Amino acid sequence: MASRRIVIDVLKGETVFPPPVWMMRQAGRYLPEYREVRRQAGSFLDLCYNPDLAVEVTLQPIRRFDFDAAILFSDILVVPHALGRELRFEEGRGPLMNPIQADEIPRLNDTTFHVNLSPVYETVRRLRSELPDKTTLLGFCGAPWTVATYMIAGHGTPDQAPARLFAYRHREAFEQLLTHLADCSADYLIRQIEAGADAVQIFDSWSGVLDEPCFKAFCVNPVARMVKRVRAKFPNVPIIGFPKGAGSLYDVYRRETGVTALGLDWSVPHSQARRLQKEGAVQGNLDPLRLVAGGRALEEGVDTILAALGQGPLVFNLGHGITPEAPIRNVEAMLARIRGASRP
């Protein structure tokens, strides 16, 4: 008989205490074993597209910390890369692309999209066979708005002004881009589920830079389209939406996208988080810098979240990805405090 995958139970609305826990970017540079594999891989993209190495780095934090979920090791920008856009990663600069022009959007090449992503699907298949049966396997993708910001600017920017200006000046072309990304990304998630993912997460890392009308048009509507497309094929697979920085618009996002669970960044007040939790599971929302600081700051952060959200469906996580500076001993201390906590 299969072991219980408690992350799935919680995502579907069950309260479990102590709550299950995993961390965004849990396979990453804070781990020496990851840094060693990264050196072997050559480029970051080579690591993402090599199933042997991608499986290994995905499993590393599970072996070390026994997290309740493993998340596929990849990158949100493999989607535009699979659509034929140039992509490279430079040390100290991050991802770099050739900025897309409005007249190039109708010519995005999706004929070999799934062929180009076949190494990712192979990684998912192998992970499901190699992970402990109790461990939930999460697939993921970037949300159309966040992916589009990199395609338009060609790199990360502080406020995504290039994408916002593009959207204001070329609204029809921009919405065409979002629709295309939504459909391709939903199909990408469907293939991950077919390969063995138990649930999926949609990362909208730049939703917080938009005004309310643009948030609805560029964040909510494309994700709602994705959710509908995935649910048509897999109605019972949980979908986590993570609109980082959405603030008061988290409520709109939950209501109108139809996601199963809501990832919360660390700025979300716990009073708001409790209200959101009444509508379904929430995930989060420890400030990653508390994990870097350790000690009292970490203990207070963990205890406050457990006290505020531990009586409802909660997947404990950070409010964004773990940083390379986080000491391993602090991760161990965080897990010990969560797993040893008394019910609030």
**Active-site residue, 39 included:** no
Taking the alpha carbons at both ends of the chain, their separation in whole angstroms is: 32
**Active-site residue, 274 included:** no
Catalytic hit among 29, 128, 229, 337: 29
Residue 218 and residue 8: Cα distance in Å, rounded? 28
Catalytic hit among 25, 164, 191, 225: 25
**Active-site residue, 9 included:** no
CB atoms within 10 A of CB 90: 11
Catalytic hit among 5, 30, 38, 254: 38
**Active-site residue, 38 included:** yes
Q: At what angle do helices 295-309 and 328-339 cross, to 10 degrees?
A: 30
Residue 42, sorted as left (phi over 0), alpha (psi -120 to 50) or beta, turns out to be: left
Catalytic hit among 34, 49, 150, 253: 150
Residue 106, class by beta-carbon neighbours within 10 Å (0-12 exposed, 13-18 middle, 19+ buried)? exposed
Say which DSSP state 21 is in: B
**Active-site residue, 88 included:** no
Say which DSSP state 207 is in: G
Catalytic hit among 75, 187, 198, 204: 75
Residue 17 and residue 281: Cα distance in Å, rounded? 13
Positions marked active-site: 25, 29, 38, 75, 150
